[in-house]
Structure formats: C-alpha cells, structure tokens
Amino acid sequence: MRKTIKNIFIEGAIHPTFISDSIAKHSSKKDIGAHSIFLGQIRQDVIDGATVQAIEYTAYEKMALDKMHEIREAVFSKYDLTCMHVYHSLGVVNAGEICLFVFTSSKHRAVAIEGCNEIVERVKAELPIWGKEIFNDESHQWKVNR
C-alpha cells in the first residue's frame, strides 16, 4: 500500500506544457506499452441566455486528498497500472482551458483505458470539489456534475 498522499490540486488552469512534460517524462520507462489520458476542458455553455466564461473551483482539500488516496489505492489494486497521475484545478479556469488531467500507464491499453475511466468517474462522483459557473453577465450558479 502506498502511504504518500499526493496533492492533486493546481491553482488555475492546467497548462498544456505541464501535460506534455508529464507525458515526455514517461519515455524513459520501458515497461509501459500504453497510456490513457483524460483532459477535462471548460465548456462555454449557454444556460438561460447567459454564456459560461469560467468556472471557479473550490474544495474541501484535506477530505478530497484523503478520498483521492482511497481511490488511488483501490484503482491500483484493481488494475495492473504502472503509473497514475491526477491533477484538478482550484480557482478560476476560463472557458477552453483544462481543469482535470488524469493520466494512467500500463503494459496494455485496455488496462490503462479502464483504469483511467474509473478514476475520472470516481473523481467526479466522490471528491468534495465544487464548481461555480461564472457567466458573461457576471451572474453565477453552482455546477452540477454530469
């Protein structure tokens, strides 16, 4: 069992350079045959005539990190993953920017894909992270995860 609780939070958007650097670092690991990557991007939805300009994320950080550690352990136990990386934004992330980055690696693609999918679904369903949609008219509403 891994005892280190990793910090998954990044202030603001997750920059494309951070994502590409994370991928590049794995080229030295010769036992990996597949990676699966999920990138969550802020949509510029129109809701009741107002356009989403950004989402401001807040979290109960300690509880979220403890729960993410549980999810990490469960997914590593269920799937033969080589690596797992999860990053979620806090603060304001503008439409078009990345707010969630999940990256799994394994010897085979099915394992990497299935593990990645389970992590994404569990992060969305189980972590105490809230998103406040900020509209172009300066109004806001709390986002419902789908």
Q: Is 138 helix (H, G, I), strand (E, B) or coil?
A: coil
SS3 85: strand
Q: What tokens appear for 48 in the block?
A: 């009741």
Residue 25 DSSP one-character state: G
Identify the pLDDT of residue 123: 97
Any idea which residue has 């920059």 for tokens?
Answer: 15
Q: Quick one: how far is CA 104 from the chain centroid?
A: 11
Supply the pLDDT for residue 37: 98
Q: Give the CA distances from residue 119 to residues 10, 30, 42, 137, in Å, rounded to whole numbers and listed in that order.
A: 18, 24, 19, 34
CB atoms within 10 A of CB 54: 23
One pLDDT digit (tens) per residue for the chain, 146 residues: 456 789 999 999 999 999 999 999 988 888 899 999 999 999 999 989 999 999 999 999 999 999 999 999 999 999 999 999 999 999 999 999 999 999 999 999 999 999 999 999 999 999 999 999 999 998 988 887 66
Q: What secondary structure letter does DSSP report for 12?
A: S
pLDDT at 99 (0 to 100): 98
Do residues 42 and 92 touch, judged by C-beta distance below 8 A? no
What is the structure's pLDDT at 138?
A: 85
Per-residue model confidence (pLDDT) at position 146:
63
